[in-house]
Structure 1
Amino acid sequence: MSTTVLVVLGLVIYIVMYVTYGRNLQNKIIRVDKDAAPPSKRLGDGVDYVPANKWVLFGHHFASIAGAGPIVGPAIAMAWGWIPSLIWIWIGNVFIGAVHDYLSLMASVRHDGKSVQWIAGKIMKKRTGTVFEWFVLFVLILVVAAFGSIVGNMFKSDARLPSAFIFLIIAAIIMGQLLYKTKLSFNVSSLIGAVMLIVALWLGAKIPITLSADPDTNYKLWLIVMGVYIVIASSIPVWILLQPRDYINSFLLVAGLVIGGVAFLIGFTPIEMPGYTMWSAPVISGKPSPFWPLVPLIIACGSLSGFHALVASGTSSKQLDNETSGLLVGYGAMFTEGFLSTVVVCAIGGFGFAVLGEEVAAPLRESAAAFGSGYVAALGKVGGPAGMFSKAYGVGVNAILGLPVTAMTLLAGMWVSSFALTTLDTTNRLARYTVAELAEPLKETSPAAYSFLSNRWVASVIPAFVGMWLAWTGQWTLLWPAFSGANQMLASIAMITAAVWVSRYLRSSKAYQMAVTIPALFLWITVSLALVWYLIFAVPTFKGAAMWIVGAMTVVMLVLNVMLLMDYFAVKNAPLPGGVKESA
């Protein structure tokens, strides 16, 4: 099998399903109204509710949902082989991921930009919303921990990346002023933004930054810097940094996808790594890890992700300029992410051995079983899964297109770290909303406590501190599956909520109700079993207090997960609660 075949097959799947299944969702389930005023216009406040050009919003949404997820997950899952990995990515994209993202976005748009957990409380039970809120808060803290650890390791291993990101932030702030405070046209502002991105990458390569000569100290200092950054970035108005930064990041994405897509499309490079290795490769914490049900603990965002529902209903729904833009933003961004994961599989499958070097690669080449047994351990020698992708991408593009390895490796590394940091501050903004929503019961009984906890700066510090404290351990091989498991469980719960909304609120046909419900229940069973395995075999390998914190969070999430499923079956055929009207 060659990279060309895989890229073509992936593109065909995504294009065909977008123009058929996606448009059916838009026209037959949601029945979009192009004349309806979205929350961004009806409730505009200049801070969170701000209408955005659909391409700017696509950039924000994609940058926020992608992060390092569609890269790290597939890079680790190669231990099972590239065939089962791609099957999970493509099927998950089409039947769960894109449907989940689009319905979460549009449900929020129809409910004044409220979060998916708030909607669950309204269309199901009040208890459902509260339980969902706590579940979401745990997920968001684990997102901060996992992505903080990934980025910290990248910044530690390549001093060009933090430097380039700092210059990118400066460019984004300037871009925000151009877009919202000047009379420059959107196209001219975009051109200036593209030039500033190139300059930021060039300066990053010329002025690398290291905070300490000791790798461990350097890692922890960058975690402190990131913690301060995400508190500030998640508290200031979206137009100052979030929207323009994510829009500029989308240029980085397009450049990376186009260059990589073209290279692997025309390269006819054979996939050297095994298509299938073994059912239980030692993927998580060195333990034999069965592909099913554990694959959702590894491949998260590239296939499907509950975090996307939080972004869709947390920030994107408050910025959507028109209901018709929802398909591009909610559905199209998920397919773009799936294509990114396809490129990741091609890059590592075709050039991973070259990156590892013959001394490390030779034992892995002996057999499929040898590869499956030793691959994850070998990742540590090239900067982890993100490092593996960055280097494989650079080597691959150089071999096929002749572009400089150093420049292409920096492009890929910046691509991963920029999107991961984007996810970090978007996550913290969502966590700020969640803390404020959880504090609402105190509004009447203890106004002072409510005022304190709902303060946007206080509510931002809480998840940032806990998440970075967990990342402090540096155990990305354990934090990643913890995040992914919670994330995928959230996806099943959000899909179940969407199923209730589709059947009770939109009164859709039975066929479309089943198209949402069946994948949601399959995912619920899969991730529940995976988290039980994780609790028994992986959590005990954590060090110190982190074991008890992550273990407790996993137990609570499993309990909350069962409660949410019980609520679903209790209310799926009950009358709608007061204040919630059926769609016309």
Structure 2
Amino acid sequence: MSTTVLVVLGLLIYGIMYVAYGKKLQTHLVKADSKNPTPAHRLKDGVDFVPTNRWVLFGHHFASIAGAGPIVGPAIAMAWGWIPALAWIWVGNVFIGAVHDYLSLMASVRHDGKSIQWIAGKVMKKRTGVVFEWFVLFVLVLVVAAFGAILGNMFNGDPRVPSSNIFTLIAAVILGQILYKTKINFNVATIIGIILLIVALWMGSMFPIRLSADNAMNYKLWMVALGVYIIMASALPVWVLLQPRDYLNSFLLVAGVVIGGIAFLVGMKSLEMPGYTIWSAPVISGKPSPFWPLVPLIIACGSLSGFHALVGSGTSSKQLDNEQSGLLVGYGTMFTEGFLSTIVVCAVGGFGFAILGEEASKPLQESATAFANGYVGAINAVGGPAGIFSKAYGHGVNAILGLPKDAMTLLAGMWVSAFAMTTLDTTNRLARYTIMELAEPIQHKSPSFYKIVTNPWVASLIPAFLGLWLAWTGQWNLLWPAFSGANQMLASIAMMTAAVWVSRYLQSSKLYQLTITIPALFLWLTVSLALVWYMIYAVPTFSGFKAFIIGAMTAIMLVLNVMLLIDYFAVKNAPLPKGAKQRA
């Protein structure tokens, strides 16, 4: 199979389903109306509720949900072969990911920009909302931990990456001032921002930064720096840094996707890595890992992601300028992310052996079983899943289009790091919202304590400290499956919440209800079984107190997950609460 065929197939699937399925959801199910005032207008406060140009919001939402997930997950999943990896990506995108993202966003828009967990408490039970809130908080802490560890290791491996990110942050602050404090035309401001981004990347490559010559100390110093950064970014008004930085990053990712898409479309490069290896490749903790149900613990955001529901209902719903823009922001970004994962599979599958080198790749080519058993260990020598992707991408684009290999490798590396940083600060902001919602019951009982806990800086400090403490030793291989499992479980719960909202508030047809409910329940079963496997086989292989904490968090989330499923079945056919109705 050639990369050209895979790119064409991916584009056809996404294009057809956006028009045939997405548009129907918008027109016939949600009935999005541009005349309905969104929370960004009704509750405008200049901090969180800010009416935003739909392309700027597309950039913010895309950058926030993408992170390193659509790159890291598919790169690891190649151990099973590129056919099962792509099948999970494409099927997950179409039937779960994009639907989940769009409905989470629009349910929040219809409920004053409230979070999906708050909505669960309204459409199901009060207990459901509280349990969901605690579940979400655990997930967010794991997200900070997983992406913090990935960033720290990347900053260690290539000092150009942290310096490029620092200069990009400066460029973002400047762009934010131009967009919101001057009367410069939006298109002109965008051009200025792109020029600033190019200068930032050039400056980063010219002035690489290492905080210590010792790798271990360098990693820990970057953890401290990241902690300071995400606390500031999550507490400051959204337009100061978060929004313009994500807008700039979207150009970085779109440029990479377009360049890679063209290269692998015209390159006719055959995929050298196996299409299918074995069912139980040793992917997690060196243990034989069955593709089902464990694939969601590896391929997370590239296929579907519960974190997207938190972003859509946490920040994007507060910035949506028009209900008609919801399909582009909520649905279109998931398909774009899936196409990015398709590019990852093409890059690694087509050029991975060249990156690993003859000595490392020769044993992998002896048989499909040999490849499956040795792949994960082999890629660690070239920087892990992020490393093999960025190097394979640079090598492939250079070989096909003749563009500079080093520049293209840095571009790919910046994808992973820039969007991991985006995920970090967005996550911390969402965790701040979650802590504030969890503290609501004590608002009148203990107003002084409530005031302290809900202070933006204090509420931002708590998840940042907990997450980066877990990431302190850099064990991404421990954190990634835990994060992915919690993330995918969250997706099933958010999807079930959307199913209840659709049936009780939108009064949808049985067909729409089934197309949302069946995938949600299938995902719930898959991820629950996968996390049970993780608890039994993977967690015991790790040592130390942090491994115990990860295991305990996973066990608690499994219990909460069962409680949420019970609440779902208890209310799915119950009548709508008296006086409740969707916002017209």
TM-score (norm. length: structure 2) = 0.99
The AA in structure 2 aligned to 1:508 is: S
Q: Report deviation, 1:542.
A: 2.3
Q: Structure 2 CA distance, aligned partners of 1:340 and 1:306?
A: 18
Q: Report deviation, 1:582.
A: 5.2
Q: Structure 2 CA distance, aligned partners of 1:397 and 1:176?
A: 32
Alignment partner, residue 142 of structure 1: 142
Q: Structure 1 CA distance, aligned partners of 2:147 and 2:379?
A: 17
Alignment partner, residue 190 of structure 2: 190
- What SS does the aligned partner of 2:193 have? helix
Give runs of aligned pairs for residues 18-97 of structure 1, distance below 5 A: 18-97=18-97
Alignment partner, residue 374 of structure 2: 374
Give runs of aligned pairs for residues 216-295 of structure 1, distance below 5 A: 216-295=216-295
In structure 2, relative to structure 1, the CA distance for the partners of 1:582 and 1:234 (3 Å cut) is: closer
Alignment partner, residue 511 of structure 1: 511
- What SS does the aligned partner of 1:293 have? helix
Alignment partner, residue 481 of structure 1: 481
Asked whether the equivalents of residues 306 and 491 of structure 1 are also in contact (C-alpha less than 8 Å), the reply is: yes
Alignment partner, residue 154 of structure 2: 154
Alignment partner, residue 403 of structure 1: 403
Asked whether the equivalents of residues 355 and 391 of structure 1 are also in contact (C-alpha less than 8 Å), the reply is: yes
Q: Report deviation, 1:33.
A: 1.0
Give runs of aligned pairs for residues 158-557 of structure 1, distance below 5 A: 158-557=158-557
Alignment partner, residue 15 of structure 1: 15
Alignment partner, residue 132 of structure 1: 132
Q: Structure 2 CA distance, aligned partners of 1:578 and 1:216?
A: 59
Q: Structure 2 CA distance, aligned partners of 1:15 and 1:404?
A: 31
In structure 2, relative to structure 1, the CA distance for the partners of 1:170 and 1:583 (3 Å cut) is: closer
Asked whether the equivalents of residues 507 and 583 of structure 1 are also in contact (C-alpha less than 8 Å), the reply is: no
Q: Structure 2 CA distance, aligned partners of 1:216 and 1:76?
A: 24
Q: Structure 1 CA distance, aligned partners of 2:523 and 2:212?
A: 44
Asked whether the equivalents of residues 504 and 582 of structure 1 are also in contact (C-alpha less than 8 Å), the reply is: no
Q: Structure 2 CA distance, aligned partners of 1:30 and 1:423?
A: 28
The AA in structure 2 aligned to 1:385 is: P
Q: Structure 1 CA distance, aligned partners of 2:13 and 2:134?
A: 37
Q: Report deviation, 1:579.
A: 4.6
The AA in structure 2 aligned to 1:128 is: T
Q: Structure 1 CA distance, aligned partners of 2:2 and 2:562?
A: 43
Return 537-546 or 94-103, whichever deviates more: 537-546
Number of aligned residues? 584
- What SS does the aligned partner of 1:444 have? coil
After superposition, give the CA deviation of every residue in 1:521-542 in whole Å (9 maximum; x if it has no partner): 0000000000000011111222
Return 336-345 or 541-550, whichever deviates more: 541-550
Q: Structure 1 CA distance, aligned partners of 2:193 and 2:582?
A: 44
Asked whether the equivalents of residues 110 and 583 of structure 2 are also in contact (C-alpha less than 8 Å), the reply is: no
Unaligned runs of 5+ in 2: none
Q: Report deviation, 1:511.
A: 0.4
- What SS does the aligned partner of 2:92 have? helix
Asked whether the equivalents of residues 235 and 429 of structure 2 are also in contact (C-alpha less than 8 Å), the reply is: yes
Q: Report deviation, 1:214.
A: 1.1
- What SS does the aligned partner of 2:478 have? helix
Asked whether the equivalents of residues 79 and 372 of structure 2 are also in contact (C-alpha less than 8 Å), the reply is: yes
Alignment partner, residue 123 of structure 1: 123
Q: Report deviation, 1:477.
A: 1.1
- What SS does the aligned partner of 1:283 have? strand
Q: Structure 1 CA distance, aligned partners of 2:471 and 2:578?
A: 43
Q: Report deviation, 1:473.
A: 2.1
Q: Structure 2 CA distance, aligned partners of 1:411 and 1:185?
A: 28
In structure 2, relative to structure 1, the CA distance for the partners of 1:57 and 1:477 (3 Å cut) is: same
Q: Structure 2 CA distance, aligned partners of 1:21 and 1:222?
A: 44
Q: Structure 2 CA distance, aligned partners of 1:268 and 1:298?
A: 28
- What SS does the aligned partner of 1:403 have? coil
After superposition, give the CA deviation of every residue in 1:214-256 in whole Å (9 maximum; x if it has no partner): 1111111111111110000000000000110000001101110
Asked whether the equivalents of residues 111 and 583 of structure 2 are also in contact (C-alpha less than 8 Å), the reply is: no
After superposition, give the CA deviation of every residue in 1:420-465 in whole Å (9 maximum; x if it has no partner): 1000000000000001111111111111111111111000000000
Alignment partner, residue 560 of structure 1: 560
Q: Structure 1 CA distance, aligned partners of 2:400 and 2:548?
A: 48
Asked whether the equivalents of residues 39 and 113 of structure 1 are also in contact (C-alpha less than 8 Å), the reply is: yes
Q: Structure 2 CA distance, aligned partners of 1:272 and 1:351?
A: 7
Q: Structure 2 CA distance, aligned partners of 1:560 and 1:358?
A: 48
After superposition, give the CA deviation of every residue in 1:492-534 in whole Å (9 maximum; x if it has no partner): 0000000000001100110000000000000000000000000
Q: Report deviation, 1:583.
A: 6.7
Q: Structure 2 CA distance, aligned partners of 1:364 and 1:122?
A: 53
The AA in structure 1 aligned to 2:110 is: R
Q: Structure 2 CA distance, aligned partners of 1:29 and 1:237?
A: 34
Q: Structure 2 CA distance, aligned partners of 1:40 and 1:174?
A: 23
Asked whether the equivalents of residues 123 and 580 of structure 1 are also in contact (C-alpha less than 8 Å), the reply is: no
Asked whether the equivalents of residues 124 and 577 of structure 1 are also in contact (C-alpha less than 8 Å), the reply is: no
Q: Structure 1 CA distance, aligned partners of 2:542 and 2:42?
A: 48
In structure 2, relative to structure 1, the CA distance for the partners of 1:250 and 1:572 (3 Å cut) is: same
Q: Structure 2 CA distance, aligned partners of 1:175 and 1:2?
A: 41
Give runs of aligned pairs for residues 90-109 of structure 1, distance below 5 A: 90-109=90-109
Q: Structure 1 CA distance, aligned partners of 2:271 and 2:202?
A: 32
Asked whether the equivalents of residues 48 and 315 of structure 2 are also in contact (C-alpha less than 8 Å), the reply is: yes
The AA in structure 1 aligned to 2:505 is: Y
**C-alpha RMSD over aligned residues:** 0.8
Q: Report deviation, 1:474.
A: 1.2
Asked whether the equivalents of residues 122 and 580 of structure 1 are also in contact (C-alpha less than 8 Å), the reply is: no
Q: Structure 2 CA distance, aligned partners of 1:112 and 1:205?
A: 44
Q: Structure 2 CA distance, aligned partners of 1:298 and 1:396?
A: 24
- What SS does the aligned partner of 1:566 have? helix
Q: Report deviation, 1:347.
A: 0.2
Q: Structure 1 CA distance, aligned partners of 2:297 and 2:335?
A: 20
Percentage of identical aligned residues: 76
After superposition, give the CA deviation of every residue in 1:93-125 in whole Å (9 maximum; x if it has no partner): 000000000000000000000000000001100
Asked whether the equivalents of residues 110 and 582 of structure 2 are also in contact (C-alpha less than 8 Å), the reply is: no
Return 393-402 or 217-226, whichever deviates more: 217-226
After superposition, give the CA deviation of every residue in 1:362-405 in whole Å (9 maximum; x if it has no partner): 11111110000010011110111111110000000000001111
The AA in structure 2 aligned to 1:113 is: G
Q: Structure 1 CA distance, aligned partners of 2:578 and 2:144?
A: 37
Q: Report deviation, 1:35.
A: 0.6
